[in-house]
């Protein structure tokens, strides 16, 4: 998260002061024509400053205030939208959030955040994030970066990366179990309830994920469970909350569920 430190404020005040001095000089030395030129400059650059304030400085001021005075809460990302705004090569996205406050109440709102171009998939639907809620307006929320002890947007969704040997062993064990269930398990439809990226990508940018699903077997009762697996980067949209997929589950232990890629 970018912070409004003293250096930024000094730069802003200096830029505004310099601009006003320049406009004043044009008006004084330009006669009647200078007045129109000065007014034109005020309109054009005033509009630019207003847009910068709305898109950059106001969110920074609001985020800094809520980090100190906001009430803690939890939020689940429902949707990630591109705003078309890029700052210092970092795109800004709009997060549609389902917020749960400290009273357990849930509601939907949104916030805007910058995403590092190095980690464009930092925010995904289904992720849970700590937030700070404006005590005077519960719809005004920001991501709580203090919980992770960092001021970086990536810190809200950063995972402790396992070492490569540990990761390899975990993936091999998972694949072994998944292969066994795929051979003998029963196929069923399932609805994805939650998508969680487990912090690593495999063979390029293919995410290792955990899906919470509602399994819908034929001729028997539906049940909930979790499945872990690696999915193709190009298929992540198919594995978001609300999507229907096929899984296989162990007939004798329904907690063992795998994603059916066939």
DSSP string of 181-249? HHHHSEEEEEEEEEEEEEEEEETTTEEEEEEEEEEE-TTS--EEEEEEEE--GGGGGGGSTT-EEEEEE
pTM for the structure as a whole: 0.45
Give the fold, CATH level 3, of 70-157. OB fold (Dihydrolipoamide Acetyltransferase, E2P) (2.40.50)
Tell me the domain boundaries of the chain.
6-65, 70-157, 164-259
Could you tell me whether strands 106-114 and 186-202 are parallel, antiparallel, or unpaired per DSSP bridges? unpaired
Is 71 in contact with 135 (CB distance < 8 Å)? yes
In whole angstroms, give the CA distance from residue 41 to residue 37.
Answer: 6
- The partner residues of 142 in beta bridges, in order of sequence, read 132
Residue 62 CB neighbours (<10 A): 16
In whole angstroms, give the CA distance from residue 168 to residue 160.
Answer: 15
Per-residue pLDDT 10s for the chain (262 aa) are: 444 445 455 656 666 666 566 656 656 666 667 666 667 766 776 776 666 666 666 777 787 788 888 888 889 999 888 888 777 777 888 899 999 877 778 899 999 888 876 666 678 888 888 888 988 888 999 888 765 433 333 333 334 344 556 667 777 888 888 888 888 889 999 999 988 877 677 887 788 888 999 999 988 899 999 998 888 888 888 888 889 999 999 988 999 999 987 6
Is 259 in contact with 244 (CB distance < 8 Å)? no
């Amino acid at each position: 998260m970018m912070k409004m430190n003293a250096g930024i404020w000094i730069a802003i005040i200096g830029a505004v002061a310099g601009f006003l001095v320049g406009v004043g000089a044009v008006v004084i030395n330009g006669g009647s024509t200078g007045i129109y030129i000065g007014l034109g400059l005020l309109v054009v650059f005033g509009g630019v400053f207003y847009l910068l304030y709305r898109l950059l400085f106001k969110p920074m001021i609001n985020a800094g205030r809520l980090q100190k005075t906001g009430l803690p809460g939890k939020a689940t990302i429902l949707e990630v939208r591109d705003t078309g705004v890029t700052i210092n090569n970092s795109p800004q996205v709009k997060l549609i959030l389902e917020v749960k406050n400290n009273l357990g109440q849930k509601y939907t709102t949104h916030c805007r955040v910058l995403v590092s171009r190095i980690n464009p998939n930092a925010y995904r639907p289904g992720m849970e994030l700590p937030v700070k809620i404006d005590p005077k307006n519960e719809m005004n929320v920001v991501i709580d970066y203090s919980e992770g002890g960092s001021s970086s947007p990536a810190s809200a969704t950063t995972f402790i990366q396992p070492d490569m040997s540990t990761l390899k062993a975990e993936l091999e064990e998972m694949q072994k179990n998944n292969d066994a269930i795929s051979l003998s398990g029963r196929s069923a439809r399932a609805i994805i309830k939650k998508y969680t990226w487990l912090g690593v990508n495999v063979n390029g940018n293919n995410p290792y994920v955990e899906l919470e699903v509602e399994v819908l077997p034929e001729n028997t009762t539906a049940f909930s469970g979790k499945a872990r697996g690696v999915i193709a980067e190009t298929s992540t949209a198919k594995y978001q909350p609300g999507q229907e997929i096929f899984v296989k589950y162990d007939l004798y232990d329904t907690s063992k569920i795998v994603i059916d890629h066939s």
